Structure 1
């Protein structure tokens, strides 16, 4: 589904990760672990760029990229804007049809935010904004979800439930995560990034305490 074959990855001509060889197969749930600056976001960006044009990819970026002046519901509706032309999209954002509104409400309900549907995003908490971004990705749907710390602003119990929602909503997913327990519960495969290189790439069942300690050691 996704493949990188010996790529040097970075920004502005400066490599962050060198010689990356990575394949993600359909049905895999991959967790990316590592300290801030280890290359997780860079790797996700490269995976997004490598997706075939016929793949429908949903994205939850780290900064959520929501429109703060619009309601949560209208931000969710934006998940399908590239399915239609400009006039249809404008009409949907101004006055959603009953069917479109119900579909967006259903996705907000999946992340526990249906009561906040008509509130402006700028009035929501950080955790609520993350959940709106996830609801937008669920509304988009597709073969694959790429998420950059999509659960970092919610509490652990809520994060576990939302990870299960992602697992149920997408056949394949690659998530950068900061919580090892959530990664263990969610992933089939885990990749550890440290100082611009892969420290490990293994089945989640093989992730032991020694590897976690090495990954996060000062």
Structure 2
């Protein structure tokens, strides 16, 4: 993928500026963590970034964006709707094709929900819904992964499994995280957001938790 150049991004709510102006570059092969306290502007920045790269990005939004009435299979399959004809997509809605099942089942196995393939999303736990949204993004196979708190509902060991899988599946990613340890372990660049501005931007190898904690 080509580098992403963001220049003078701003966001306002109710007539009050809450983010920016922010400028930053995202280079191919970077795994970037957005860190900072609640309300700092991480989700807003991620949303602005998605607006810039929507045609080549897979998104895991904090609210997940799942269709509650449909099974896990169909929610994951939606990651590739744009890759197929409307006829083929309708066919999969009524009768999932074997090749799509074979592609999605291993993802669910890796994410620890292999038995939920045909389960309606509405009946899943919060952590299972989160993993369904992640499976959809992994199935999409886009150029860049954008994820907003993708492991917030997962326990420690499972959070590590999912972070490792996302890092392995996408060469370039930007992930908003509250967990400093996960950010330092799975990302090679940390961008800290505070009061709507970039307060920290450095390579992970040069940082320790004590460098990041003041952002919270």
| SS in structure 2 of the partner of residue 15 of structure 1 | strand
| SS in structure 1 of the partner of residue 46 of structure 2 | helix
Partner of 1:50: 52
For structure 2, list consecutive stretches of 5 or more residues without a partner in the other structure: none
Q: Structure 1 pair 109/209, CA: closer, same or farther in 2 (3 Å)? A: closer
CA offsets 1:87-135 (integer angstroms, 9 cap, x no match) = 2211112111100111111221221111111111111100000000000
- Alpha-carbon shift at residue 83 of structure 1 (Å): 1.5
Partner of 2:5: 3
Partner of 1:67: 67
CA offsets 1:11-43 (integer angstroms, 9 cap, x no match) = 465422122011000000000011111000111
Q: How many residues matched?
A: 214
For residues 92 and 15 of structure 2, the distance between their equivalents in structure 1, rounded to whole angstroms, comes to 41
CA contact (8 A) 2:9 2:48 kept: no
For residues 60 and 11 of structure 1, the distance between their equivalents in structure 2, rounded to whole angstroms, comes to 23
Partner of 1:173: 173
Find out whether 1:77 has 2:77 as its counterpart. Answer: yes
For residues 112 and 213 of structure 2, the distance between their equivalents in structure 1, rounded to whole angstroms, comes to 34
Q: Structure 1 pair 66/52, CA: closer, same or farther in 2 (3 Å)? A: closer
Partner of 2:136: 136
| SS in structure 2 of the partner of residue 20 of structure 1 | strand
Partner of 1:36: 38
For structure 1, list consecutive stretches of 5 or more residues without a partner in the other structure: none
Find out whether 1:210 has 2:210 as its counterpart. Answer: yes
Worse-matched range after superposition: 202-211 or 186-195: 202-211
CA offsets 1:59-78 (integer angstroms, 9 cap, x no match) = 10001111111111111111
For residues 159 and 192 of structure 1, the distance between their equivalents in structure 2, rounded to whole angstroms, comes to 21
Partner of 1:199: 199
TM-score (norm: length of structure 2): 0.94
| SS in structure 2 of the partner of residue 51 of structure 1 | helix
TM-score (norm: length of structure 1): 0.93
Partner of 2:100: 100
| SS in structure 2 of the partner of residue 192 of structure 1 | strand
